[in-house]
Structure formats: structure tokens, C-alpha cells
């Protein structure tokens, strides 16, 4: 019986992880977006800064420093098309 309970607990934890990973949000933080696309947070922040993905600065609750956020629509666009071309002069 203990083996069955352990298997059910493992299945439950895997399902929880899948639901968290596939939950659709309007906006994703840099770390969430990075996890979804398999990149480092630093890389995604640079893409935001350089305009390689469409992102906005939103109040982060950390004083005067706003944090980058990426929309769900942009996540879908990135998965279909990849990075935007580099801005001129970059």
C-alpha cells in the first residue's frame, strides 16, 4: 500500500509542475519567460533591453526600479518567429 501512495504522490507532484508550467498569464516576468523558453534570465533581460523581444517596464515593488515584463502574445510570437531583428545602430 505504501508503494501506491508514493506513486500517487509522485504523479501529483508531476501534474502540479505541468499545470504551473502551462498556466497562461497575461504578463510574464523575465524569470518566468526565461524558464518557458529555456534561456537564462540575463539573456532575456538583454533581449528586452535591446528590443529583440517586445517587453514593457512595469512597477516591480522594488522601489524606483521597474522590471521587464513580456506579454503572452509576445511569448507566442517568439515561439513562432524567434527574436526580432537587431535595432539599427546596435
Contact 79, 37 (CB under 8 A): yes
Q: Which three cell numbers stand for residue 80?
A: 513562432
Q: Map residue 60 onto helix, strand or coil.
A: strand
**Nine cell digits for residue 3:** 508503494
Q: Is the pTM of this model over 0.75?
A: no
What is the pLDDT at residue 18?
79
Q: What is the Cα–Cα distance from 70 to 84, expressed in whole angstroms? A: 14
Gap between the Cα atoms of 12 and 50, Å rounded = 40
Q: Is the pLDDT of residue 89 over 90?
A: no
- The band of 69, judged by pLDDT with boundaries at 50, 70 and 90, is very high
Give the domain ranges of the chain: 2-81
User: CA–CA separation, 15 vs 30, rounded Å?
Assistant: 24
pLDDT tens by residue, 12-44: 988 887 777 677 889 999 999 999 999 999 999
Q: Which residues are registered as beta bridge partners of 67? A: 58
* Cell numbers placing 59: 512597477
Mean pLDDT along residues 4-8:
92
Given a cut of 60, whether residue 90 has pLDDT beyond it is: no
Amino acid at each position: 500500500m505504501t508503494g501506491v501512495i508514493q506513486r500517487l504522490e509522485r504523479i501529483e507532484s508531476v501534474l502540479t509542475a505541468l499545470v504551473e508550467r502551462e498556466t497562461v498569464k497575461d504578463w510574464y516576468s523575465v524569470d518566468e519567460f526565461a524558464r518557458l523558453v529555456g534561456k537564462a534570465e540575463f539573456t532575456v533581460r538583454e533581449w528586452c533591453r535591446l528590443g529583440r523581444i517586445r517587453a514593457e517596464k512595469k512597477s516591480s515593488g522594488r522601489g524606483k526600479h521597474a522590471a521587464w515584463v513580456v506579454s503572452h502574445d509576445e511569448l507566442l510570437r517568439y515561439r513562432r518567429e524567434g527574436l526580432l531583428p537587431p535595432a539599427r545602430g546596435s
